[in-house]
Structure 1
Amino acid sequence: MAGLARVERFRVPRRAILDVHKHLAAVGQAGYEGLGLWVGKTAGETATVERALIPQQRLIRSASGVGVQIEGDELHRLNVWLFENDLRILAQVHSHPTDAYHSGTDDENAIATAIGSLSLVVPDFASQPFDLSSTAVYRLNAAGSWLEVPCQTAHRLIEIVD
């Protein structure tokens, strides 16, 4: 598989977007953050999402805020499944209670770890229909930093297909 670093277009089926967003909205109604993954393949400069995955997750609420954690056993199960199905994580998508931004916790606990991966943050516990314009999009660079993708660039980078 070609590396994600050279990908210039992520083709994402609307169904994959809706599947993750439905999960984020459901846990958001209970006051929690949620997380979903877009998995697929790369070919040259294009990454094609084949499906959404919702890993088993521990929803966290404490005095310092809310969060979501994927435990080690689930990460192992997920990686075995990806290997057996010749797929890779292209993007992680998670929600925040208010503003969409990549927090320090998001940086440190990312599941998408390949250079060029995307991390999308949906605001307001995904209480509104998915809108790329209000979603914060970040991309992992070669130095291991998540850099924000400007909205206009995100619209060129992420192609939603039916």
Structure 2
Amino acid sequence: MILDWLKRVLGHKPKGTPTRPRLAKLLATADVLDDLMAALIRSQRQRHEGIVYLLGRTDGDVTLAVAVFAPEALTTSGSFHVPTRSMVSCMQTAARFELQVVAQVHTHPGQAYHSDGDVEGAKIRYPGYVSLVLPEYGQHLPSLAGAAAYLWQKPYGWIELSDDDIIIIPGSGPWTSNSFTAD
């Protein structure tokens, strides 16, 4: 018992315990960034935090965002609240198109980081779910300059994504008819 306590205190991990997170990526289409920018215009003008959700698919490590859902929300210059009915509508919309709610995107008045309130307020947490925080009320969109991105992975919780972990796919993506050319 004392040996187990010492191992925990000194940081020794039992065999088979992962020592670092698996590869994690967020992929989003350029159209998603454009839609994100449009969805946040009202909150930017009000100088309020904005909130949107991204719909797509994830395998727990790689998350692909293909659509934006802007919920009805109560916002202030430093906070937001999404009522249950708005969250239900978001989930129903995702299900209608066989998608998942894969990310929460919200803005901060200054720099982007995961505040204690953000960690507590991120009610959706499953492997591959992303929390993206945009600085200065998202004014830099469609650029993600200064953004802070986190992906939920078990057993680690929120892991921070680097700029290299976020990939923007030009246009809508290869799955749309307007992306194809005739041979």
Which TM-score applies when normalising by structure 1? 0.78
Partner of residue 148, structure 2: 136
Q: What percentage of residue pairs aligned between the two structures are identical?
A: 23
Matched AA of 2:126: A
Tell me which protein shows more strand as a share of its residues. Answer: 1
Unaligned runs of 5+ in 1: none
Aligned equivalent of 1:159, options 164, 168, 179? 168
Cα gap change, 1:86 to 1:98, in 2 (>3 Å)? same
> How many Å apart are 1:123 and its aligned residue?
0.5
- Taking the TM superposition and a 5 Å limit, the aligned residue runs for 1:91-110 are 91-110=103-122
Letter paired with 1:57:
A
**Structure 2 match to 1:33:** 49
Partner Cα distance (1:14, 1:112) in 2: 24
Q: Root-mean-square deviation (CA), in Å?
A: 2.5
Superposition deviation, residue 89 in structure 1: 1.4
- Equivalent residue runs for 1:6-21 within 5 Å: 8-21=24-37
Change (3 A) 1:138 1:26: same
Cα drift, residue 159 of structure 1? 3.1
Alpha-carbon distance, 1:26 to partner = 2.8
Given that 1:112 and 1:119 are in contact with CA atoms closer than 8 Å, whether structure 2 keeps it comes out as: no
Match of 2:89 in 1: 77
Q: What does residue 54 of structure 1 align with? A: 70
- Deviation string 1:90-115 (CA, Å, 9 cap, x unpaired) is 21111100010011111111154222
- Say yes or no: does 1:150 pair with 2:162: yes
Report the TM-score when normalising by structure 2: 0.70
**Per-residue deviation at 1:46?**
4.7
Q: In the TM superposition, what is the alpha-carbon distance from 1:147 to its structure 2 partner?
A: 2.3
| Number of residue equivalences | 151
